[in-house]
Every structure is written in structure tokens, then in C-alpha cells.
Amino acid sequence: MAGLAAIAVQCTDGTGEQESAPFRGTMFIELFIATACLFWIVGSSIKSVVAAPALRVQGGEKNNRVNLNVKRYGDGPVFNDTLLQVCNRQGSAHLKILITGNMGYVGPEVAKHLRVRRPSATLDGFDNAYFAHCLTGAPVLPERNLDEQFYGDVRDISLDLRGYDAVVQLAAISNDPMGNRFQDVTLDINQNTTVSLGKAAAAAGVKNFVFASSCSVYGVADGPPRKETDPLNPITAYAKSKIGAERELAAIDTDMTITCLRFATACGMSDRLRLDLVLNDFVACALSCRQISVLSDGTPWRPLIDVADMARAIDWAVDRPAGTGGRFLTVNAGSDDRNFQVKDLANAVAGRVPGTDVSINTSAPVDSRSYKVDFGLYRSLAPDHQPAVTLDQSIQNLVDGLKKMNFKDADFRSSDLIRLKVLQDHMDTGRLNERLEWR
Ligand SMILES: NC(=O)c1ccc[n+]([C@@H]2O[C@H](COP(=O)([O-])OP(=O)(O)OC[C@H]3O[C@@H](n4cnc5c(N)ncnc54)[C@H](O)[C@@H]3O)[C@@H](O)[C@H]2O)c1
């Protein structure tokens, strides 16, 4: 309860700047307020547990089913003026949305964007917190944008999905290196669990299901930019799990609107920044040692999308009407002008970090991912949610964010900013087992 109170009190304040409080020095009033808050918090948390019986801590079970009820206590200025103005402009955004896998790299930006665009929506998160501790300069806990944070494993999620309008499935083993290291788990979480969650959502009457798929399903693909209907060539366990999930989601017999967003490779600053992505890695190399060594021959094509633009696409998909694209839709999410060759990315970064050299490995083996992607369908279906962040802005945001973190670590590829490294540490210290379950 002490921990819960600590979280709740922090959320009430939201700034952490107690010095500026007007009642400073009046001990009696402070004591009175603290006591009243405590009674209120206890009352609220009891109410929450009663309202979400599936999430009670059950004796003897793994402790990853705890719900800390991270409530947005109080109405600080950020939830009043600006957001209510947006709310009044929009008027129609009273959705209840569950975001699974919200505590990774992309999730915090999704929560932030949805909170701004849909201030009156109920936003809940569900995550087993592999990377929850990996904050990167966030001024406040990103989950503050949510109404409630559930902790648990999506593989045995028992949350009652009735009442949710939309489920956004981000939870995944989310890149090739992790997918190669944990192949069975990748299939289980990314494919089997996504499909089970889709079926549970459909059975619960959820209206929209959004799946974070990936353009990596195109694998090595020469020739013109890939359209959604073009042949696929998934090379890695990660890519295979994504296309497997798409196919099984398509086969669910339901009225639920399903959107599979085949995202380009993510990049950009986040409250849980990761450096195991091509552009982010290049910026980190440039800042830490003024040297970018491209591991391939630099020719592979890679479409990019900033995390802020991923959030924009998800905002579109959470209440996409079936009439826009069909009840089941697979769509490439990104923009044509953000198909880049890896060497061009390196040079763009070097151009923004003075003194950076770029070296290309001309004898490197062929990259298992090279594809240009056609984003015409997304452009026609979602004209108001098109990517807005330019490559230069993504790079500059990364530079600014990393500088704010005082980032200098030339050995960052062995650090907690690499997801595989974090999982491996959890395992080496006995916190996670081989199935990536908390012990
Ligand atoms: N980053 C990219 O380049 C990219 C591109 C295309 C698509 N995607 C997809 O977008 C989604 C989000 O990506 P990300 O970069 O934020 O990934 P991430 O690895 O940073 O975050 C994934 C989150 O899912 C959670 N998670 C994993 N397994 C879970 C489980 N069994 N139960 C509960 N939670 C679990 C993790 O704790 C983590 O918080 C993923 O599905 C990913 O495949 C990412």
C-alpha cells in the first residue's frame, strides 16, 4: 500500500515541485491533506480492485498479475485546460482503449498521442514490464497518460475485455535479434497470443482490433516498392510470426474491425528509447564516438517511420469504420518518401552531427532485410493521419533527447538501451525463465 500511495501521490502532484506549493510551512494543513489523500487513495484502489476482479493478486500465483492501479488521480493543469480544449474541438472521442505492450519503445508515444487527441477516452495499458525500468529522460512516468496500468503476461491475460471499444496489440518480442534468440516464445507471443487476444476481443464485443505488424514480412525484395498484395518473403522468426498472426486474424469469424498496420522500421525519440534500430543506432554512434560503421554494404532499402507517426496511425485505426478499407485490413504504415538506403541514413546523421565519419563495409554479406514499400493505400485511406515527422526532425529529436540524457556511452550496444541485452540480464539473474516468464 505504501508503494501504491507513493504512485498516487506523485500523480496528484504531477510536477514534483512541492517547494512551490502555496500552503508550505503550515504543518497542520499538510497533515490534514495527506490524511485525506490517503483515505481517498485507499477508497479508490479498493473500488478499482472490485471493478477489475480478474486482476486481483491471487495467492501462490506468479507475481506478474499485480495491478498497481496507476490512476490519473487529480486534475492537474495538463488534464484541464489544453486537453479539454482539444476535447471540445473533437467531441467524439469517448472510447475505451486497451493498449497491450504499452511499456516498450512505441507504447509511451502511443499513450501520449492518444491522450492529447482523445482526452476524454479511457486509456488502459497491459504489460509485463520487461523494459519498464528503462526510462530515457522522461520528465514523468509515461504511464501517467493512462487511466489504469495492468501488469501481467498477455499469454495468460484474464482481463475482462467487455466494455473496451478498441484493443491495440503492441505486446511482442519485437525485433529480429530477440526473435532469433527466443524463436518459440516469439511465435507464441507474436502469433498465437495475438490471435487468442483477437478472438477474446471479438467474443467480448470489442469494435476495433489493431495489430502492430511489420514491413519486415517483405524480407529481401528486389524491384518496385512492395504493395500489400505483393508476394511476401518473411526471412526471420520475427517476420514469420507477424505474417502468421495476420493470416490467423483474417480467419476469425467476427464483425470486429481488424487493422493490421505493417509498420516501417521505427525510429525517433521516446520516453523508453531503444538503440537497437538502425537510425537510432547511427545517431548514438555519431554522438558517442563521431564514427558510424555501416555493417552492411549500405545498399539495403529500409522504410522508416517515427514513433510519433506510428501513434498517429494507431489513432486512425482505433475507430476506423469498416467502410474505410474493409472489416479486415492489412495496410503498410509509413510514407513513400521515407524509403531510404542505409548509407543515406548514415550520411543524413553525419550531416547533423558535425565531425562524424561514415565507413561502409563493402564486403558485408547480404542483409536479410531490404525492401522498398508502397504506402499508397495508407495515403488514400488515412489522409488526415499521414506521417508528419521528417527524417531530419527524427534525427534532431534523437540528438536532443540523447544529449538531455547526457549520453556518451560508446559501448551502448552492451547497455540497457538494447532490448536483447535487457532480456538476457533478466535471465542471467534468474528473474525470467527461458520462456520469458517472471519467476
Ligand atoms: N520498433 C519497430 O521498428 C517496429 C516496427 C514495426 C512494428 N513494430 C511492432 O510494434 C510493437 C511495439 O514495438 P516496440 O518497439 O515498442 O517493442 P518493445 O519491445 O519496445 O515493447 C514491447 C512491449 O511488449 C511487452 N511484452 C512483450 N511480451 C509480453 C507479454 N507476454 N505480456 C505482456 N507484455 C509483453 C514488453 O514488456 C514491452 O513493453 C511490437 O508489436 C512490434 O513488433 C515495431
Asked whether the predicted pLDDT for residue 188 surpasses 70, the reply is: yes
Domains of the chain: 7-428 (3.40.50.720)
Q: Is 210 in the pocket of ligand 1 (CB under 6 A)?
A: no
- Calculate how far, in angstroms, residue 362's C-alpha sits from the geometric centre of ligand 1: 32
Q: Which residue of 170, 195, 269, 431 sits with most ligand 1 atoms within 8 Å of its CB, as the best mutation to test the pocket?
A: 170
pTM score of the predicted model: 0.83
What is the C-alpha separation between 107 and 334, in angstroms, rounded? 17
Q: Is the CB of 419 under 6 A from ligand 1?
A: yes
Assess whether the C-beta atom of 101 lies below 6 angstroms from ligand 1: yes
- Average pLDDT estimate for 142-164: 96
Q: Kindly state if the Cβ of 111 falls inside 6 Å of ligand 1.
A: no
Strand partners, 212: 261
Report the separation in Å between the CA atom of 170 and the middle of ligand 1, taken as the mean of its atom positions. Answer: 5
**What number is the average pLDDT over the span 313-328?**
98
Average the pLDDT over 166-189 and give the result.
97
| Least confident among 65-79, 325-339, 350-364 | 65-79
Q: Is 370 in the pocket of ligand 1 (CB under 6 A)?
A: no
Distance 104 CA to ligand 1 centre (A): 6
CA of 16 to the centre of ligand 1 (A): 30
Give the separation between CA 123 and CA 167, rounded to whole angstroms. 10
Rounded distance between C-alpha atoms, residue 186 and residue 62, angstroms: 21
* Cβ-count burial 390-422 (b if 16+ within 10 Å, e if not): ebeebbebbbebbeeeebebeebeeeebbbbbb
Who has greater pLDDT, 11 or 331?
331
Mean pLDDT to the nearest integer, 102-106: 98
100 CA from centroid of ligand 1 (Å): 9
